[in-house]
Structure 1
Amino acid sequence: MDTLTAIEERRSVKHYDTSYEMPDEHVQRLLDLALLSPTSFNIQNWRIVLVRDPEFKKKLRAAAWDQAQVEEAQLTFVLCGDVKAWDKSPERYWVNSPAEIQQNLVAMLRNFYETGGEQVQQDEVLRSCGIAAQTLMLAAKSMGYDSNPMIGFDAEQVAEVIKLPADHKIAMMLVIGKAAQPARPRGGQLDKSEVIVIDTF
């Protein structure tokens, strides 16, 4: 399926075929594509937790208000990010660049995130994870799978299940799998004139 069709046909699916086994090469392909998602300063601050253990999935389902797709989908992800990635050997993000470029970028990065503080650092995690989630969902759709991004969960419980490090932040959960039922019809799209703004409000 081409990208434009994947965008048009991607929907949030709640029911998955539990008898289907996703080939490992499909799982690895999705992960490889997710890692191509762009991040500010190339800090690659997303941390994509793929939860496969049935007991952990059961716990995540409980933390997600008993939403069945958490346990029934072939892949259950917790998309989170390292809030302090910008300060952890940042020169490695440009290892293939000349030393002078590395030094300039590290200086710019440190200035940006130190000046912006905790709020900007956390916002960066949410931006990066949002982009990675969309990459995963469109890639999945193009491969014949469906998905469901989720914010309906208790973040503290999820953090406990995945043993989230203190300097990380959860952005969302995401499930991917073979649909057992199609998504419901679209609820309704707002008119373009209401949501597209040219130049100024």
Structure 2
Amino acid sequence: MDIFQAIEQRRAVKHYQANTKMPEADYQALMSAVLLSPTSYNIQHWRFVRVTEVEQRENLKAAAWGQAQVSEAAELFVLCADVDAWNDRPERYVANSPKETQDMLLPMMYGFYNKKEQIQRDEAMRSCGIAAQTMMLAAKGLGYDSCPMVGFDREKVAELIQLPKGHVIAMMIAIGHAEKAAYPRAGQLPLSDVLVENHF
């Protein structure tokens, strides 16, 4: 599918064909695409919890106030971020770079994030947002629908997935084949309402 078609056709689908599975080849293609998502300093903050157990799906559905897509979709991911990834063996993120590049980037990375908790969290969440969009567009390109979700009890979901210390939950993403089409777009703002040049 053309990338512009995928962007146009991607919608937040709420109801999926239940009891369907994503073939392994599609799953591998999806995740291979997601891992190419860009991150600042190549830190790759994202951590994906793929939820495959029926009981865990039902528990998460209850934490999401009964939203059907949590249990119906072929795939469900809880997209998280390691806020402390910037300081966790950072040499990994530049391992394939020339030594002079490593010697430049590692001190820069430390200086940019050290003792700046808001920047650490903001960057981790930005990385998740980019990865989420990559995931949803890749899914659409493979013929699947998706739904990004923030409507859930975060503390309960964190408990259910045993979220490690120093991590945050960005969203859940359901992926599968639509049982019912999404509602028509509710109202897109015109470009003139959202774009300014040079300053507000």
- The TM-score normalised by the length of structure 1 is 0.97
The whole-number CA distance in structure 2 between the counterparts of 1:22 and 1:180 is 15
The whole-number CA distance in structure 1 between the counterparts of 2:138 and 2:38 is 15
CA contact (8 A) 1:80 1:171 kept: yes
CA contact (8 A) 1:63 1:153 kept: yes
Q: Which residue of the partner structure matches residue 111 of structure 2?
A: 111
Deviation digits for residues 120-153 of structure 1 (CA, Å, limit 9, x no counterpart): 1111111000000000000111111000001100
Q: Which residue of the partner structure matches residue 126 of structure 1?
A: 125
Q: Which residue of the partner structure matches residue 155 of structure 2?
A: 156
Matched-pair identity in %: 57
The whole-number CA distance in structure 1 between the counterparts of 2:77 and 2:39 is 19
Q: Unmatched 5+ residue regions in structure 2? A: none
Aligned AA for 1:112?
F
> What CA RMSD, in Å, does the superposition of the two structures yield over aligned residues?
0.9
Q: Which residue of the partner structure matches residue 49 of structure 2?
A: 49
Q: What is the deviation of 1:19?
A: 3.5
CA contact (8 A) 1:91 1:103 kept: no
Q: Which residue of the partner structure matches residue 139 of structure 1?
A: 138
The whole-number CA distance in structure 1 between the counterparts of 2:128 and 2:99 is 29
Residue aligned with 1:170, SS: strand
Aligned AA for 1:189?
Q
Q: Which residue of the partner structure matches residue 190 of structure 1?
A: 189
Q: Unmatched 5+ residue regions in structure 1? A: none
1:63 is the counterpart of 2:63: yes
The whole-number CA distance in structure 1 between the counterparts of 2:31 and 2:63 is 24
Q: Which residue of the partner structure matches residue 173 of structure 2?
A: 174
Residue aligned with 1:123, SS: helix
Deviation digits for residues 15-67 of structure 1 (CA, Å, limit 9, x no counterpart): 00013222111111111111000000000111011111111111111111110
Aligned AA for 2:51?
V
Q: What is the deviation of 1:88?
A: 0.8
Q: Which residue of the partner structure matches residue 96 of structure 2?
A: 96
The whole-number CA distance in structure 2 between the counterparts of 1:167 and 1:173 is 18
